[in-house]
Amino acid sequence: MPDKFVPEIKGILRSNIIEVPQVIREASGIIIFGRRIKSLIFSTDVAIIRNTNADAVIAVYPFTPQPVISEAILKVSEVPVFCGVGGGITTGKRVIKLARHAEFQGAIGVVVNAPTPNEVIRAMREEIDIPIVVTVVSENEDFKGRIEAGTTIFNVSGAANTPKIVRKIREQFPYVPIIATGGPNDETIRETIRAGANAITYTPPTTGEIFEKIMDKYRNTF
């Protein structure tokens, strides 16, 4: 038997899943509560979340966070879920309550937006035990202040500047966990990992885009 041979089992009905890029396996991963996480799928679509091989889900969306949404995602997901709890439009005590509720629902971590004040992160840290993931969009962020406030993991989302931001964090803080967007292809993902990211978020195609390919196949068949 070859070294590191990994048997793979697929069902007939569930063989069509969204697979994250294989290159993400090169990341070190982040071990949270004994589970190593290298890939996170960025989605709130329960059908996609149910049909992916990602290690975890990062459920952040551009609306006021609602417990009923996180509950639905946690119910269908077969992997750990990081729930968005606001921090931009939604802030203050409401964010803290949402974070506490997400922990009670079973989230493995909570994600707050870049504008979240340090005092909110500090108050949240006193309320919950699960990781607090703070989104970073600029290299000018006060990373030290964020960590001192209670940040557990940085979530870097800086578009083309992501590797540069990751590299700056890693130079200052060699051991802080970093999740980052990987970009459009294997090479940009690999560059982000080399810069120091421990885990990579992957944005899947929409259900509409997937349906378009399936419908084209059906049309060609008939």
**pLDDT digit string (tens) for 151-183?**
999 999 999 999 999 999 999 999 999 999 999
pLDDT above 70 for 13: no
Tokens of 182: 């990987």
pLDDT value of position 201: 98
**pLDDT digit string (tens) for 119-140?**
999 999 999 999 999 999 999 9
Q: In sequence order, which residues have a C-beta less than 8 Å from that of residue 176 and are 6 or more positions away?
A: 143, 147, 153, 154, 169, 170
Residue linked to tokens 């990992």: 193
Please give the share of the chain, as a percent, with pLDDT higher than 90.
Answer: 82
pLDDT value of position 172: 96
pLDDT above 70 for 4: yes
Kindly list the structural domains of the chain, giving each domain's residue range(s) and its CATH number in brackets, ordered by start. Answer: 22-204 (3.20.20.60)
175 burial (CB, 10 Å; 0-12 / 13-18 / 19+) is: exposed
pLDDT value of position 65: 93
pLDDT value of position 2: 62
